[in-house]
Amino acid sequence: MQQKLNLESERLRARLRQELAELQERLSPSPAHLSSTLASMRERLAPLTQQLQSSLSSNTQDLCGQLSLYLQGLETAEAARASEASQAFYQEVFSWMSQTLDHSSSKVADIITDFQTKAVGVLEHLKEEKSDLGQEMSSRLGQEVSSLRREAQSRVGTLKTELAALLETAIPHMSEVAASLELFCQNAALQGQVFQARMERLFLGLEEDLEVHRASSLSPSSSSSLQQGSFLQEDFSVKLSALIQDILHSV
């Protein structure tokens, strides 16, 4: 009987030590743990970012290839001074360009949404652990994705506006059309690289925040830290109450 009580007592002590260790880690994650978590996030998001860049690049090549064909048709008609190179002809070609831009814009939106969905899945386990780092990463990533989506839409909108303005002239100058298309394609080709650079900047910013955390980890004073500590202590209290009941039941 005494041996049984000793074993049960040791089991309960081990459980209590585990609960205390978990509470301590959640209240003040070690710098090493946070650095390891950040490195893991960077590693797991890297292939998704590369896939995003590759998909955007492929879409841009297809789009600009089609726009180039439309431009060649306009330039050929202009050079030949053909009778069909009328205002109606330009309107038709510009309409094709606009439809092509809209279709491509829809594909870009799907590509970005797919990336965001997969990236959120990578970060989800960190949010479940109530990790401030995971929540902060998720927030900043959402901002970067929103910027990428907004810039892509703005780029298409700007080109469509420029084409519409050129169409208002009797015969649009092909040099101006070509310049607008070239600028658009150059900027679109860089969007994936720009996003990758922003992701790197995001991680560098988080690393700097970790350095600040290391310096102040022994004296957390912000209200958010206090609120989080209060929540975790309440959570621990519930577990401790359950443990006490277990002890009473065992006795």
The tens digit of pLDDT for each residue in 9-62 reads: 666 667 766 765 665 555 455 566 677 778 888 898 999 999 999 999 999 999
The pLDDT score that the predictor gives to residue 133 is 76
- Do residues 63 and 99 make contact, with C-beta atoms less than 8 angstroms apart? no
The pLDDT score that the predictor gives to residue 223 is 46
Q: Residue 220, by phi and psi: left (phi above 0), alpha (psi -120 to 50) or beta?
A: beta
Of 69-73, 147-151, 244-248, minimum mean pLDDT range? 244-248
Measured CA distances, 112 to 75, 142, 144 (Å) = 34, 11, 11
What is the band of 232 on the pLDDT scale with cuts at 50, 70, 90?
very low
Of 14-23, 85-94, 211-220, 234-243, minimum mean pLDDT range? 234-243
Distance CA 119, CA 124 (A): 9
> In the structure encoding, which two tokens stand for residue 230, read together?
């209060």
The pLDDT score that the predictor gives to residue 226 is 42
Nearest to 199 by CA among 33, 51, 60, 63: 51
Distance CA 159, CA 180 (A): 7
pTM of the model: 0.71
What is the average pLDDT value for the chain, to the nearest integer? Answer: 78
What is the band of 149 on the pLDDT scale with cuts at 50, 70, 90?
very high
Distance CA 113, CA 198 (A): 17
Q: Tell me, what DSSP letter sits at residue 131?
A: -
More confident residue, 212 or 199: 199
Residues in the chain: 251
